[in-house]
Chains A and B, each alone.
Chain A
């Protein structure tokens, strides 16, 4: 019975680690951070906290156990598009959670690579729109880097007005096309 409770608590700690920022907990055991396999849990061993020096949090390389979150429609990572206001390249508040989630994914998966493609609506010069689209891609990229992603993991490019998703001439179509899209390597 005691062994079962310990197994459950080890699993619970792991689940917490996968979805929240990893925090160094004084007195936590090393064993509790390993992927849990049923029946393998060991009783926690008390460890003396370090006497000198700051505690430095290391990013944990976690591998999701379930289906690929990038392809799971229930996961925020499935959302790949950030939309912009006219003549604007700033990431609006409503899209910050999506950018944050992808930034975290890159932080936790240092081997992952993405391309961010910036787009504009069709009004105006093609080359100037290519530059505006680039700004929209860069805006998302910069936010991700501030949140921990590495420069080498992200290439930002522009498709300008050349690959519209919506082909109408009304504001609804224009807004759909003012967009940055996230595309992971291998997709």
Chain B
């Protein structure tokens, strides 16, 4: 049953559905606290990179620094500047304390694109660890720098790099809401949806081409799925009552959603086109915030079936859920880690809401944050960083903490409150 509302037509005309550059295109990022054992690395400017509109090495340095795992060693004042292995004078770099050195070069190609190549050198062993050559357009320069940072990060830490991934979040300014997608370093924000009504719960499709989200543009929560490639969107769930909390299955074919069409808030599974609705939970209480395991076998969720908000796990095919949290009276917003071995969530302690991590073996929660009002935790696809929303001096900002709790970052928009972050998947992008 729908209430006819002439104002609805006006609201539709205020929505922009295509990706448009956001008015304020950058999130500012501040690093607070670093890791204890940082890898000292020097990044020599690439030969001829000043001919590019953007300095590649500045982006690589910023990426590695932001991870908190590297200490950037000064690379200035070395002549000649090395760009080939034969140029490297190892004693100089050893004296500066570097254990790794990045060298590279840039050259324009006849078809208007660029040849970019780099090598990562082991200063101690005086050998090359890795190196790649890329042919890229000018538009791909930033992304290439992120890919170089990923390669360095992977070689030296053993973990997958996430510098070339994207994040999504909602910015609120007054009564205006924008769902934005930006690079993981906060650069290049684009607007996916602009609205005069709230937008919450964005969720990335596993292949990174679509976002599911909840929009209140029709004065009730409705789940939409929008393509980031075309800007086209469809209604995934608009049943009587409230429709919310979309979560993609790992095969990208279905979503778990929360519907109140049968009375109270319950979890259902639907196809991405909105068809084939099947009920997953079956209580008269609140079941919400579903999230699939990476292997698609399980769904964790929040439920108050036991009398307080706690986290449970149920087989994706249905059955009796198992309770996972037992500490305190409010544990919500669960999200699986990419390796499926643990989950992050929000635990209320007195008046504070903190990010916590619990693995399925020990079943013990560990707090990753201590102060503040934290919400909406989201894992980076390498499982090493948790992105979440919090508040500083009354303003909504995003923050990140490494999964070992040591490195912290803050992301703030120039204007407005930022909330509801979700970290996008790893992208297998063509060269």
Q: Is the CB of A128 within 8 A of B260?
A: no
Q: Is B361 an interface residue (CB 8 A)?
A: no
Contact B220 A135 (CB under 8 A): no
Please state if A162 and B198 are interface contacts (CB–CB under 8 Å): yes
Which residues of A from 114 to 157 have beta carbons under 8 Å from B?
Answer: 115, 117, 123-128, 130-132, 134-135, 138, 152, 155-157
Known contacts being A115-B3, A156-B260, is A130 close to B244, with CB within 8 Å?
yes
- Known contacts A126-B376, A134-B264; A115 and B244 CB within 8 A of each other: no
Decide if A126 touches B420 in the complex (CB within 8 Å).
yes
Say yes or no for B268: interface residue by CB 8 A criterion.
Answer: no
Chain A residues with CB under 8 Å of B373's CB are 123
Given A125-B332, A158-B242, the answer on whether A130 and B221 have CB atoms closer than 8 Å is yes
**Pair B258/A127 contact, Cβ less than 8 Å:** yes
Nearest-neighbour CB distance to chain A for B2, whole angstroms, equals: 8
Specify which chain A residues have a CB less than 8 angstroms from the CB of B198 in the assembled complex: 159, 162-163
- What residues of chain A lie closer than 8 Å to B263, measured between beta carbons? 138
Residues of B within 8 A of A115 (CB): 3, 219-220
Asked if residues A162 and B216 are in contact (CB atoms below 8 Å), the reply is yes
Q: Does A79 contact B (CB under 8 A)?
A: no
B286 CB contact (under 8 Å) in A131, A162, A163, A185: A131
Bound CA–CA A162/B201 (angstroms): 12
CB–CB A138/B200 < 8 A: no
The answer to the question of B346 belonging to the interface, with a C-beta cut-off of 8 Å to chain A, is: yes
Residues of B within 8 A of A135 (CB): 264-265, 286
Contacts of A183 in B (CB 8 A): 3
CB–CB A124/B332 < 8 A: yes
Report B-chain residues with C-beta under 8 Å of the C-beta of A160: 200, 221
Partner of A157, one of B241, B288, B353: B241
- Tally chain A residues at the interface, Cβ within 8 Å: 27
Judged by DSSP, the binding face of A is mixed
Alpha-carbon distance between A183 and B3 when the two chains are bound, in angstroms: 10
A157 to B222, CA, bound (A): 10
Instruction: Determine whether the beta carbon of B1 is less than 8 Å from that of A158.
Output: no
Min C-beta distance of B281 to chain A, whole Å: 12
Q: Does B114 contact A (CB under 8 A)?
A: no
| Minimal beta-carbon separation of A150 from chain B (angstroms) | 11
**Contacts of A162 on B, CB cut-off 8 Å?**
198, 200, 216
A113 lies within 8 A of B333 (CB): no
Name the residue on B nearest A118 (C-beta): B242
Known: A128-B333, A130-B242. 20 other contacts (CB 8 A): A113-B1, A115-B220, A124-B332, A124-B353, A125-B309, A125-B346, A127-B244, A128-B309, A128-B332, A130-B200, A130-B245, A131-B286, A132-B286, A135-B286, A138-B264, A155-B220, A155-B241, A157-B219, A158-B220, A158-B242
Rank and list the top 3 A-B pairs by shortest CB-CB distance, nearest first: A131-B265, A157-B220, A162-B198
Using a CB–CB distance below 8 Å, which chain B residues touch chain A?
1-4, 198, 200-201, 216, 219-221, 240-242, 244-245, 258, 260, 263-265, 286, 288-289, 302, 309, 330, 332-333, 346, 348, 353, 373, 375-376, 420
A-B contact pairs, 11 of them (CB 8 A): A117-B219, A117-B220, A125-B332, A127-B302, A130-B265, A131-B258, A134-B241, A138-B263, A155-B240, A155-B241, A163-B216
